[in-house]
Amino acid sequence: MLGTIINTATIVTGSIIGSLLKRGVKEEYHSALFNALGLACLALGFNACITRMGGSEYPVLFIISLAVGSLVGTMLKLDVRLNNVVGNKMGTTWIEGLVTGTLLYCIGTLSIVGPMMSALYGDNTFLITNATLDFVTSIVLAASYGIGVIWAAPILFLWQGGIYLMTLWFGDVLSDSLIREISIGGGMLSVCTGLSILKIKDCRTVNMLPALLVPAIYFLIRSLFL
């Protein structure tokens, strides 16, 4: 868990530094930060999709995941519920920052494979590398959205901690195929987030979050009946 603790700590530290920098950044420069962040989300999202889609054994699964996940999220009105819980108090910008941070921190090969390597071999290289990247990202996020993005840190801790404990107890339970499909779906959600930040299209990314569960459910059903 040491790597995960370090990763979480860097996000907290970066968020604090970024929020302090935000106070000294003129309002006219905030749009430049948002543009940079939006473009980064697009680049990272497209990269995740393109590099992994070619090796996918289920090339249609990500389409089904997005369709089913978006439908379920819309039916459950996740964006409305989240807005009612925290949006009315903290503002919709805070929600956008939290979702953006969560996707960038959690949905990536380093953040998924890292805790598995830590549990299986005691190797924290991936997690420390991820922590370095997240430190820079958290500074930019907090400078753009404010200190509220710090709440993505405990989400990351639970995410990586869950993967770590599952691997510790059950072994290598996350196959390369499942990691690949989750990464493709996460990449698409990052693209949607980038489009929203750049105000090109409001994809309501919160409603699309259940799409990340579809590959896991599919692989679970497949392992039980095939």
Least confident of 15-24, 25-34, 132-141, 207-216: 25-34
pLDDT (0 to 100) of residue 174:
75
**Cα angle vertex 100, ends 98, 102, to 5°?**
65
Question: Which token pair is 98?
Answer: 């939290």
> Hey, what's the torsion of the CAs at 126, 129, 134, 135, to 10 degrees?
140
Q: In angstroms, rounded to a whole number, what is the distance separating the alpha carbons of residues 114 and 106?
A: 11
Count of alpha carbons within 13 Å of 67, Cβ hemisphere only? 5
Best-predicted range by mean pLDDT (35-39, 65-69, 74-78): 65-69
Alpha-carbon 41 to chain mean position: 10
69-111 pLDDT per residue, tens? 999 999 988 888 777 766 555 556 778 888 888 888 988 778 9
189-205 pLDDT per residue, tens? 989 988 988 889 888 88
pLDDT (0 to 100) of residue 36:
87
Question: Which token pair is 26?
Answer: 């003129």
Give Cβ neighbours of residue 99 (< 8 Å, ≥ 6 apart).
Answer: 193, 205, 206, 209
